[in-house]
Amino acid sequence: MPVRVLILILAVATTLIIGGCRDRAYDGEQVAPGDKLVIRFSHVTAENSPKGLAAQRFADLIRYRSQNQVEVQVFADSVLYQDGEEIEALRVGKVEMIAPATSKLAGLVPEWQVIDLPYLFSSVDQLHRFLDSPHGADLYSRLEEYGVKPLAFWDNGFKQLTSRSRPLIQPSDGAGLRFRVMINNQVLVSQFSLLGAEPVPLLFSEVSGALEEAKVDGQENTLSNIYSKRLYTHQPYITISDHGYLGYVVLANAEFWESLPGEVRELLEITLAEVTLWEHREASRMNAEDLVSLAGESGIQIHYQTAEERAQWFEKLAPSYSLLKHQIGAELVDAVVAAAAEGGGGLPGFR
Ligand code: LMR
């Protein structure tokens, strides 16, 4: 165990035991549940998703490194709060940590919708570079105005399209169909409207039922979400389009975070940084592995969008860029397009 971590553990234990806990047991294993520092971490995806596994790894490492003095309780699969509720639950202190999709942060800060622009990024590295730029820093700091503390960015992956009734090859194949979209997001709504389809905003917990009951005909999601939530069960057609990116901002309740003893906060932040690097690798591995698993499912047809088809889809969806400029101003949209183009991303005709 690195000396720095050992020192931190001792510091955490000392702070918690000496600071107001003199009559408590010294052995972490013996500490009563009421004496622990409990952090509730709520999220909406399956336990075996990139976010679910990372949240659990964070919890396990913190329990071990703090010798049971700090307990991160993970509530997966919307069991505590659904996506429509989790940000509010965090803000009012009903939970201490969440990791919502950037697409849903648009409910607080519409500028986050730049990440949803179709066919913008062609690699996750481009997206990371944008988020590490001053424009990304500005996006994070806008969240802080709402009493939440951004701690990390977790990947999921590029979104793909699925459908019940027909393969989605040409942009016109989506016309007349109903597609589930994530809540709070005008870019996603405009994307499907531009296809001549009907966008239907639904919570993540509602998607599987809506597909089963044919309330919607299709949806967009990452392969890891499609596989872990079995969203392919009623969706035999999958198009590998990589048309948009799904990732998460790990958020804490700001007041809670600032109130933590410095050593505890440092242990949490160091561990989260380490888990974040692991999560980025794991998300990429899982999406690749889930593609193989989906290809092995009987009755599933997978179409890989060609470069020519990508150009056609982009042309059809390009007005969503102007719509977003209209909503949040041109500066940020132009900046993200320039950042993607610099990194070799975006589509040729758009640079
Ligand atoms: C969705 O609603 O489809 C995703 O945002 C779920 C998630 O958190 O990955």
Q: Which residues, 6+ apart, have CB-to-CB distance to 69 below 8 Å?
A: 12, 13, 16, 17, 28, 31, 36, 37
Edge-to-edge strands, sheet with 70-75: 70-75, 37-42, 97-98, 245-253, 148-158
Task: Decide whether any atom of ligand 1 lies within 6 Å of the 225 Cβ.
Answer: yes
pLDDT of residue 224: 98
Structural domains of the chain, count:
1
Instruction: Give a yes or no: residue 183 inside a domain.
Output: yes
Instruction: Give a yes or no: residue 347 inside a domain.
Output: no
- What average pLDDT does range 73-99 have in this prediction? 97
- Which DSSP symbol is given to 101? B
Residue 343: phi and psi, rounded to 5, are -85, 10
Residues in the chain: 351
How far is Cα 191 from Cα 107, in angstroms, rounded to an integer? 17
| Confidence tier at 21 by pLDDT (50, 70, 90) | very low
pLDDT at 302 over 50: yes
pLDDT of residue 339: 87
Task: Decide whether any atom of ligand 1 lies within 6 Å of the 184 Cβ.
Answer: no
pLDDT of residue 81: 97
pLDDT at 164 over 70: yes
pLDDT at 63 over 80: yes
Q: Could you tell me the CATH number of the domain that includes residue 240?
A: 3.40.190.170
Instruction: Give a yes or no: residue 246 inside a domain.
Output: yes
Instruction: Give a yes or no: residue 160 inside a domain.
Output: yes
Edge-to-edge strands, sheet with 237-240: 198-201, 178-181, 218-221, 160-163, 237-240, 301-304
What's the whole-number average pLDDT of the chain? 90
pLDDT by residue (tens digit) across 304-346?
999 999 999 999 999 999 999 999 999 999 999 998 887 655 5
Instruction: Give a yes or no: residue 350 inside a domain.
Output: no
Instruction: Give a yes or no: residue 274 inside a domain.
Output: yes
The first and second tokens of residue 244, run together, are 């948009």
Ligand 1 atom having least distance to the Cα of 248 = 8
Q: Domain range holding 53?
A: 3-342
Between the CA of 101 and the centroid of ligand 1 the distance, in Å, is 6
Instruction: Give a yes or no: residue 351 inside a domain.
Output: no
| Confidence tier at 5 by pLDDT (50, 70, 90) | very low
Residue predicted with more confidence, 14 or 54: 54
Residue 126: phi and psi, rounded to 5, are -60, -45
Instruction: Give a yes or no: residue 65 inside a domain.
Output: yes
